[in-house]
Chains A and B, each alone.
Chain A
């Protein structure tokens, strides 16, 4: 995104609409973080388009004082794609949830990632269908009891990161609803990345899936159970910053600095820009209790976006033809006088 000099504040991105999410819902803090991220990037509100599908999260466009489009279930990725391709100068956000993005919209999700459309996807993952009142979603943990799985789900859940990497994604980040500062940071990074930026937001649903992310969202344990990855920095975590990650054969392992002679130089250094996504995938897939959950920008690889490539191809074709308008086009076809 081109950075503009005018200063904006989060207020400039707040609409006059009453926010209708449940009190205590994680979505509140995400919209605040997004408004702050937009102000930080200093893009004028009229150049921002926020596109959503259907679900609790998809109400977000109403709360942004920008251009917004609350569309139909699952199609947000395709509609956002059309917006970006038709008007590349816009900063386009797709707001979606685990049902909207990974169930009904799964096909559009993987294809927008594959094409590397320059959109920013905020995937609100609360592992439940909230708006339809509590059915299991594609990310609900196996065995969970929900309205539509009264005896526990027998389905294996998706991991959004795995899908994004499987679709050859160029950007993947993760943040937690209760950690607004790092949420804002990954949103800013997502907006600046050219290509599809997938940001998985771990969100709590106070009504239907309360505490689903408690293992890491409880403040007292968070620093022990999660790691904030920073490009170029060693992978260190823990309350006392005394733990780190090393590669042990083909597996990641958490170590304690000083134990068994391990020092900081033995730790892995995060390289978000590495083409090969193998390690990114391993980091994104980490889970407790042995490994911390990864947050921050896990992968950010610069590669040409679809919308850029299309503009380039059009310019290239136009540079070697004299046909530039309808009259010339008609004139170029086989024709005769009668």
Chain B
């Protein structure tokens, strides 16, 4: 191949888009895994319709999968695409605006017939002209359906199965376009179709033919080369999505704590995959109950916690609302419990498959009474493992419910994850009542310094007790309505949660320490903010990022760091109308905060944040 025709790229964004039945999620996943195996950093984001099977070829049925790969640190799935694969006119229409001016669009000419154009509500026969796609975008028409049929001639497959393989032809072309040998793709296919040999052979044939087809095209098109990354520490890696990472974090925590893991949950988009993964994990002894509703999901978990398990429940915004009263019970009974909220667009049913950070207020304040608990947030798909593990550790060691906020963006998105070993993870020591308390134990017996209640588990003789949602006497654990005692218990529960700050990592500012603009973020906006800071610094602005994963309590040096930037512009950037900004205002003194907010069901783009930085500088 002519080496002059390589475009050397530090990072590149590819968007696979087609009908929800076109296999775009699989194609995208395979391609990102191949890239990862070959040493690229990756970040992916699936964008699927709310409908399971929308009418074929229509705009509402478009399913997308974006991959960002690079030789440098990759923090987001990328803004605009360098390459768009459009399997039909609807996919083109939905994604046209998201293609770079010098980008490439590969499309299936066999799916661009007049009737296909009509299904996607095009008025003319030239969709590119109609969408105003600039001339600078290079179009690569490929007769995917016909070529796939040719490729599979003599395989004896029915027409439907043949056409279902055309995504593999596209993958072959993409592998060629990005100079990725197909060997790994074939390896992944072997694992996927272990039990269906005929399908394996067919898919492998189409994939290889797609690659060779690209090769024969090469005079007309330049290919991309993205070198492998040197930033990654050596080790064993996989690519993982946030929901699976969350599930595995809980599994690791249970093993580390020497406890059984129990999940009580109810199906809800986009959190169900946590339940699916844990339901699979009977091999490591996980007990999963699909409850009759959200309330029973958390209630069974609270029962399991009372009985001595590491208990968790997983949900999304509407489910968290239903669980509110039960969370209050866990606060009052001072039981360890992990509540995972994979946030989506709200209020009400809202945008079930889209992403937002709008549940923060609900997590912090959505209960009756003075009801403090721990709120924390993961920031990348892979970090969901760490924060789920830490949520369990904090819950078990501090005897408190913990709400872990992730969202649709990182829950479904993937990033590279260096596989940990159980021995390298931090110890977890549940706050058990020791044998020295036998006979002297009562349900509210606590460590006087840390205020952490001692956990005694049914089955232990001499530790029988009655817990519950009624206020209890500080000294005896018996139910009490004494006014002074209630005040003391309210303060004790608050202090217990506040004390957790002492064990949290201190905040560190990333980026330019002499910044004029300090971006402040929490949770999944991390990738976009760190990239925006870097890009703005390259442009000559002085920008830094202060990012939060622990929200309640805040890390101990929060006030101190923010004070350092008091005279500068401090901008809280979040995918809601300013919930974290308001919270920070209530928790700090003498700091002015600016806000950058977006509530559109989509993540930030790096470029919009950079534009904003330019505007305010």
Interface residues of chain A, those whose CB is within 8 Å of chain B, are 15, 17, 44-47, 49, 51, 61-62, 64-72, 75, 78-87, 89-90, 107-108, 111, 310, 313-314, 317-318, 321, 323-327, 329-331, 333-338
Task: Across the interface, name the chain B residue whose C-beta is closest to A63.
Answer: B466
Q: Which range contains the number of B residues in contact with the other chain?
A: 35 or more
Task: Across the interface, name the chain B residue whose C-beta is closest to A50.
Answer: B466
Task: Across the interface, name the chain B residue whose C-beta is closest to A313.
Answer: B282
The answer, yes or no, to whether B459 is at the interface (CB within 8 Å) is yes
**Is A111 a contact partner of B296 (Cβ separation < 8 A)?**
yes
Task: State which residues 305-347 of B face A: CB under 8 Å.
Answer: 305-309, 311, 325-326, 328-329, 333
Interface centre among A44, A79, A331 (most CB of B within 10 A): A79
**Is A335 a contact partner of B238 (Cβ separation < 8 A)?**
yes
- The CA of A34 and the CA of B262, in the complex, are separated in Å by 30
- Give A56 Cβ to nearest chain B Cβ, in Å: 14
Interface centre among A72, A89, A323 (most CB of B within 10 A): A72
Task: Across the interface, name the chain B residue whose C-beta is closest to A111.
Answer: B292
Task: Across the interface, name the chain B residue whose C-beta is closest to A58.
Answer: B468
**Is B460 a contact partner of A46 (Cβ separation < 8 A)?**
yes
Q: When A46-B460, A325-B255, A336-B236 are in contact, do A314 and B307 touch as well, CB less than 8 Å?
A: no
**Is A317 a contact partner of B282 (Cβ separation < 8 A)?**
yes
**Is B299 a contact partner of A335 (Cβ separation < 8 A)?**
no
Known: A108-B299, A313-B282, A323-B284. 6 other contacts (CB 8 A): A49-B306, A68-B466, A71-B329, A317-B282, A337-B236, A338-B236
Task: Across the interface, name the chain B residue whose C-beta is closest to A74.
Answer: B295
- The CA of A80 and the CA of B289, in the complex, are separated in Å by 13
**Is B464 a contact partner of A72 (Cβ separation < 8 A)?**
no
**Is B308 a contact partner of A17 (Cβ separation < 8 A)?**
no
Q: When A49-B458, A86-B287, A107-B292 are in contact, do A325 and B466 touch as well, CB less than 8 Å?
A: no
Chain A residues whose CB sits within 8 angstroms of the CB of B465 once the complex forms: 67-68
**Is A46 a contact partner of B464 (Cβ separation < 8 A)?**
yes
Task: Across the interface, name the chain A residue whose C-beta is closest to B251.
Answer: A326
- Kindly identify which residue among B295, B457, B468 contacts A70, using a CB–CB cutoff of 8 Å: B468
Task: Across the interface, name the chain A residue whose C-beta is closest to B301.
Answer: A82
Chain A residues whose CB sits within 8 angstroms of the CB of B333 once the complex forms: 69
- Give B390 Cβ to nearest chain A Cβ, in Å: 16
- Give B52 Cβ to nearest chain A Cβ, in Å: 26
The answer, yes or no, to whether B303 is at the interface (CB within 8 Å) is yes
Chain B residues whose CB sits within 8 angstroms of the CB of A317 once the complex forms: 282-283
**Is A67 a contact partner of B464 (Cβ separation < 8 A)?**
yes
- The CA of A72 and the CA of B333, in the complex, are separated in Å by 11
Q: When A17-B478, A83-B307, A108-B299 are in contact, do A318 and B283 touch as well, CB less than 8 Å?
A: yes
Q: When A78-B295, A335-B237 are in contact, do A329 and B302 touch as well, CB less than 8 Å?
A: no
**Is B284 a contact partner of A324 (Cβ separation < 8 A)?**
yes
Please list 9 pairs of residues, one from A and one from B, whose beta carbons are closer than 8 Å in the complex, sorted by A's number.
A69-B333, A79-B306, A81-B300, A85-B262, A90-B458, A314-B285, A324-B283, A335-B237, A337-B235
Interface centre among A68, A71, A72, A86 (most CB of B within 10 A): A86
- The CA of A15 and the CA of B443, in the complex, are separated in Å by 14
Interface centre among B292, B307, B468 (most CB of A within 10 A): B307
Chain A residues whose CB sits within 8 angstroms of the CB of B518 once the complex forms: none
Among B402-410, B418-426, B495-503, the stretch that binds chain A is B418-426
Task: Across the interface, name the chain A residue whose C-beta is closest to B253.
Answer: A326
- The CA of A15 and the CA of B544, in the complex, are separated in Å by 61
Task: Across the interface, name the chain B residue whose C-beta is closest to A81.
Answer: B300
- The CA of A336 and the CA of B285, in the complex, are separated in Å by 26
Chain B residues whose CB sits within 8 angstroms of the CB of A82 once the complex forms: 262, 264, 289, 299-307, 311
**Is B307 a contact partner of A46 (Cβ separation < 8 A)?**
no
- Give B65 Cβ to nearest chain A Cβ, in Å: 17
**Is B237 a contact partner of A338 (Cβ separation < 8 A)?**
yes
**Is A330 a contact partner of B420 (Cβ separation < 8 A)?**
yes
